[in-house]
Structure 1
Amino acid sequence: MLTEKELLEMSDNDYMNDQQLAFFKALLLQQKEELNKAIEDAKKSLSESERNTDLNDVASSQEMQQLYLRTVDRQSKLLRKVNESLHQIDSGEYGYCEITGEPIGIKRLLARPTATLSVQAKEIQEHQEKTQGTIKTE
């Protein structure tokens, strides 16, 4: 398995070769496992907080429940993106911008393994969101 340093040192001609795809697949599978565990932990905490509610603590209990629900929602969305990225690896589409077809880049994928847009395409999208008021997230 490649290290992050070895990955960054590879030639642009090697972009998304088998070794790089294996690296990102392992990274995404690890992230998937961590997200599944975090979601289960949050759900468990949510059910425990519902059972252990003291009438004097209802407000703080409801606040904690909202926090757990937001956590589960956010992590579930990220889990969907991780699964989509794993599917892209299997289909040979991973690492390429869904708008331009250009390489997303190793550095960007290391920072955000679920990225589907190149930096330039993302900047254009964000500019359009600001000027047109639409909200579309990667």
Structure 2
Amino acid sequence: MSELSLKSIAPYQAQPGEEYMNPKQRDHFRQVLSHIKSGLGEDIDRTVHTMQAEATAFADPNDRATQESDISLELRNRDRERKLIKKINEMLAKIDADEYGYCDNCGIEIGL
């Protein structure tokens, strides 16, 4: 995964007495998750274009083996990112359902 720049998103600063997971907090987490998801999507698109551009038949078996190994590693990384995107989508759905930020087992606030 390429380096995702979350520097443009300031950390959330809770105000004293602020209700936990209020709309402002949910919007903040939605923005963070959407930013990460966008970066992952760009990586996946870039990989597809790179693999299409580098589809070369090497005469040397060692070069071919190196290329296949590189492709295999890249595909494993993209699969991990695809799974992460799925988890991000699940978290975005939890935010929309006002269930984000609470333990799934006991319902206690996880905290900011």
What's the CA shift string for 1:46-88, capped at 9, x where partnerless?
2333x22322211110111111111110100000011001111
Between the two proteins, what is the percent identity of the paired residues?
31
Q: One-letter code of the match for 1:59?
A: A
For each residue in 1:75-111, what CA deviation from the matched residue of structure 2 results, as whole angstroms up to 9, or x when unmatched?
Answer: 00000011001111111111111111111111xxxxx
The alignment status of 1:53 with 2:57, answered yes or no, reads yes
Displacement after TM superposition at 1:15 (Å) = 1.1
Q: Which amino acid aligns with 1:23?
A: H
Q: What's the TM-score once normalised by structure 2's chain length?
A: 0.81
Q: Give TM-score, length-normalised by structure 1.
A: 0.67
Q: Give the Cα separation in 1 of the matches to 2:17 and 2:75.
A: 42
Counterpart of 2:74 in structure 1 is 68
Greater RCO, 1 or 2 (C-alpha within 8 Å, sep 6+): 2
Compute the displacement of 1:24 (Å).
0.4
Structure-to-structure mapping, 1:16-35, within 5 angstroms? 16-35=21-40
Aligned counterpart for 2:102 among listed residues 96, 100, 113: 96
- What is the match of residue 129 of structure 1? none
Deviation string, structure 1 residues 5-53 (Cα, Å, up to 9, x no partner) = xx3443475210111001001111111111111111122222333x223
**Quick one: structure 1 residues 98 and 89, their matched pair in 2 at CA, closer, same or farther if it must change by over 3 Å?**
same
Unmatched runs of 5 consecutive residues or more in structure 1 = 107-138
Greater share of helix residues, 1 or 2?
A: 1
